[in-house]
Amino acid sequence: MSFSDPCLILLDCQRDQVTGANGKIDPDNRLVLDRIRDLLRHARQSGWRVCHCQFQGDGPASGRAPVDGLRPTAQEAVFQRRGLSAFSDPYFHQVLARSAGSTALLVGFSAPFSILATVFDDANRDKAITVVPDAVGALAVEPRDVAETRAMAFDLVGRMAPLMDWGSLTRDWPVEAPTV
């Protein structure tokens, strides 16, 4: 890991944040999952700092399990929180402090809730988390579908945090597609 390597933050990459009420994964979220898996693979191979921040609600623990392919390794920090923002874990801010001077990339799920809450808290702390919209998913919030929910969330997120599109990210840090 070098000083300029980014820190990758996976927020709410849990089954209950990916699977819709019908028990299926929306095609938009399936694409997000593939991108996050590719990015995580690249981050691990490149020695980036990786951390996982998971919401610990009151529902069944089985739904809160990490999505297959996005499970933390023993070397990766895992923050478990009860509040919406990643900063509701009292130690999360230390990840950003240790990553000062490098880019902190935020990807994951729950765009209209946890992602937005984290961006609000980040703005209040004068930090600089960069959100990768192409690697952030959401469940539908009625009456909106997944695409509309994401668009609504990113209308707000983009006003408060730097955004990095997938093309720029893969140009700056070449993320290779998985070999089959």
Domain extents for the chain?
Answer: 11-170
1 pLDDT band, cuts 50/70/90, is: very low
Span 50-89, pLDDT tens digits: 999 999 877 666 567 899 899 999 999 999 998 999 999 9
Express each pLDDT in 78-134 by its tens digit.
Answer: 999 989 999 999 899 888 887 777 889 999 999 889 999 999 999 888 777 999 999
Quick one: pLDDT at residue 170?
A: 87
Please, which residues have CB within 8 angstroms of residue 115's CB and are 6 or more apart in sequence? 11, 12, 106, 108, 109, 131, 136, 153, 157
pTM given for the model: 0.89
Backbone angles phi, psi at 65, to 5 degrees: -65, 145
CATH architecture of 11-170: 3-Layer(aba) Sandwich (3.40)
Q: Look at residue 60 in the predicted model and tell me its pLDDT.
A: 61
Give dist(CA 162, CA 123) in Å, integer: 10
Q: Cα separations (Å) of 64 from 1, 33, 59, 82, 179?
A: 30, 16, 8, 12, 29
**Dist CA 51 CA 43 (whole Å):** 11
